[in-house]
Amino acid sequence: KSRARLPVDWSLYLVTDSTPAILGDKDIVEVVDQAIEGGVTIVQYRDKHADTGVMVEIASKLHAVTQKHNVPLLINDRLDVCQAVGAEGIHIGQDDMGCVEARKILGPDAIIGVTASSVEEAQKAIEDGADYLGIGTTFATPTKTDTKSIIGTRGLQEILAACATGTEKTVPCVAIGSINASNVQRVLHQSAHGSNRLNGVAVVSAIMASMDPQASARSLLDLIKTAPEKFYAAVPPNTARITDFANLIAQIPYIIKAHVSSSVLCHNMTNTVVQNFAANVCLATGSSPIMSENGPEAPDLARLGGALVINMGTATPDKMNAFTAGLRAYNAVGAPVLFDPVGGGATAVRRDAVKTLLAAGFFSVIKGNESEIGAVAGTSTTRQRGVDSGPSVSTAEEKAKLVKAIALREHCVVLMTGKTDYLSDGERTVAIENGSQYLGKITGSGCALGSVIASYVAVHPQDKLLAALAGILHYEIAAERAEARQDCRGPGSFIPAFLDELYLLGQEIKDGRGIGSNGPF
Ligand code: 3NM
Ligand code: MG
């Protein structure tokens, strides 16, 4: 029987599961019907245990439902079941029948998908004529414990890059493995490689185990359709990055000038020790601070055009709820969020907190000292390949490599502070030698720098590395000038001198004195 092939919408791909642990006592046909009502765009019937007769019976009921909604039905592995019910195609794993043989049997109109967990597998599947790829395993999942490798969003990115000829992706790709409402936007965002993006995500438990499959499908589809666009809109894909260092530096005074005059909102969820100092630094540099750890008001604040700082000074359950609410609220409108994983590696609670926050949304900037950045590196990829293989990061080159690797993995700007600061967006990595010894002798100087960088990114979101660099230079050059002052005699007198210089440096540049050949840069 010949099936005219319709264009397929891969956005939300449901893979079924009939095991009691996931399906419970729900009726699979009813769940699939509800899920499609909610927004599922393609269905795969996957049952590793049932007898062939039962499979054919269920597949045929599922096909009636998918046909009613005009959604394709694929069968996992079993060509015989596919043919018996006239389903639109099959999905095959690496241990199943080969793609070429399956095509011979099913013909050119059938949809044939292949699971790929490496670049090699993906390329072979494309050569063999696969119509789409299911790529993963993204994150470890209890639904399928015998998966070959956990590749993370970085692995997805590598496969998406390899699936492209020139700039065009050749086959549709969906990611699979522990994807749910809490991480779907992050997966879509972080897996993107240039304009090559996932066409959708495949889920099992997020819908099959749900008490309300329709509502779960609806909210997943909503997340899939909304966030990435909003987020990417902040960085137009065709914007050329300034990669020449002299040109990068030449932009800095203009960005400082824009910031100083902005009064941009800087929303801080930060620890009590640094609140006062960070708020003063915000005012001195030209932003308008608000110190609020009240999650429910974050959506209103997120709409004011500013940035959020999540400073994990303490990671109590209450604070974690507020951080997560804040992150979601700012992500929802595409506004920048800076993550300061204070004490990140110190305790099990903090390591968990870092992991939870990284999975809960996306950050524009992650900043920390060497051990905090180390904690970020080791988190969320502990079972994945990548930067966690743990070379010591003692040399300058190793530090630069580490921030670059995390920037690529997390798709954001990463700053490792220290005597020399290392800043990277994955494409460009810079070392910054400015600063003062006194910054290490007063409390909250690192946290306050986070607030400065966040508001700079809000003022110049089109190039977050450049914005962060401008914020760092504003901060560290002011510190140098404060240390050089006659009235600065130690950490105590450094603080007021530093606040003065943050303000004065900004005013000088605002008045045009830093712009041109004789400025401070
Ligand atoms: N295939 P959940 S992971 C069916 O990596 C399947 O190839 C995988 O289930 C692969 O959405 C997986 O509940 C299960 O995590 C995904
Ligand atoms: Mg299989």
Could you report the per-residue pLDDT of 407-443, keeping only the tens digit for each?
988 889 999 999 899 999 988 999 999 999 999 999 9
Residues with CB under 6 A from ligand 1: 15, 46, 115, 134, 136-137, 141, 143-144, 147, 176-179, 203-206
In 3D, which of 317, 287, 320 has the Cα closest to residue 304? 287
Mutate to test the pocket of ligand 1, among 49, 91, 144 (most ligand atoms within 8 A of CB): 144
Average pLDDT over residues 70-97: 97
Residue whose Cα lies nearest atom 15 of ligand 1: it is 178
The pLDDT of 307-325, averaged and rounded, is 94
Per-residue pLDDT at 236 exceeds 60: no
Pairing of strands 173-176, 200-203: parallel
391: region left, alpha or beta (phi > 0 left; psi from -120 to 50 alpha): beta
- ipTM score: 0.94
Number of Cβ within 10 Å of residue 459's Cβ equals 24
Q: Which ligand is nearest to the CA of 148?
A: 1
More confident residue, 380 or 42: 42
Contact 212, 226 (CB under 8 A): no
Query: Residue 347's CB: how many other CB atoms inside 10 A?
Result: 11
pLDDT-derived band at 399, boundaries 50, 70, 90: very high
Choices 3.30.70.141, 3.40.50.720, 3.20.20.70, 2.70.150.10: CATH for 12-233: 3.20.20.70
CB-CB contact of 423 with 375 (8 Å): no
Our mutation pick for probing the ligand 1 site, out of 141, 151, 178, 207, counting the most ligand atoms within 8 A of Cβ, is 141
Q: Give the burial class of 517: count Cβ atoms within 10 A of its Cβ; 0-12 exposed, 13-18 middle, 19 or more buried.
A: exposed
Which atom, in ligand 1's list, is nearest to the CA of 179? 11
Distance (Å) from CA 55 to ligand 2 centroid: 15
Please give the order of strands across the beta sheet that includes 337-340: 288-291, 265-269, 307-311, 337-340, 365-368, 413-416, 421-424, 429-432
Residue identifier of the C-alpha nearest atom 16 of ligand 1:
177
Of the listed ranges 143-152, 328-337, 378-387, 406-415, the least confidently predicted one is: 378-387
d(CA 403, CA 367): 10
pLDDT value at position 117? 96
pLDDT in tens, 147-196: 878 888 888 988 998 888 766 668 999 999 999 987 888 888 888 877 78
3-state secondary structure of 45: strand
Q: What is the pLDDT of residue 389?
A: 34
pLDDT number for residue 390: 41
Q: How far, in Å, from the CA of 393 to the mean position of ligand 2?
A: 40
pLDDT band at 6 (very low <50, low <70, confident <90, very high): low
pLDDT for position 462: 82
Same fold, 12-233 and 245-510: no
pLDDT tens, position by position, 333-371: 778 999 999 988 888 899 889 988 887 788 999 999 998
Probe residue for ligand 1, chosen from 176, 183, 203 as the CB with the greatest number of ligand atoms within 8 Å: 176
pLDDT per residue over 249-298, tens digit each?
889 999 999 999 999 999 999 988 899 999 999 999 999 999 999 999 99
More confident residue, 457 or 362: 457
Give the active site residue among 82, 99, 447, 488.
447
Sequence-distant (6+) residues with CB within 8 A of 175 are 134, 135, 136, 138, 156, 187, 191, 198, 201, 202
412 is catalytic: no
Q: What percent of the chain has pLDDT over 90?
A: 68
pLDDT at 385 over 50: no
When the candidates are 3.40.50.2300, 3.40.1190.20, 2.60.120.260, 3.30.428.10, the CATH number that belongs to 245-510 is 3.40.1190.20
Between the CA of 45 and the centroid of ligand 1 the distance, in Å, is: 13
Q: Supply the residue whose CA is at minimum distance from atom 5 of ligand 1.
A: 137
The per-residue pLDDT for range 220-234, each reduced to its tens digit, is: 999 898 765 555 433
Averaged confidence pLDDT in the chain: 89
The residue ranking higher by pLDDT, 112 or 345, is 112
Q: Which atom of ligand 1 is nearest to the CA of 134?
A: 7
Region of poorest pLDDT, from 123-132, 185-194, 235-244: 235-244
pLDDT at 148 (0 to 100): 79
Domain boundary assignment for the chain: 12-233, 245-510
Residue type, 263: S
Within 8 A by CB and 6+ apart from 402, the residues are 373, 374, 377, 387, 393, 416, 422
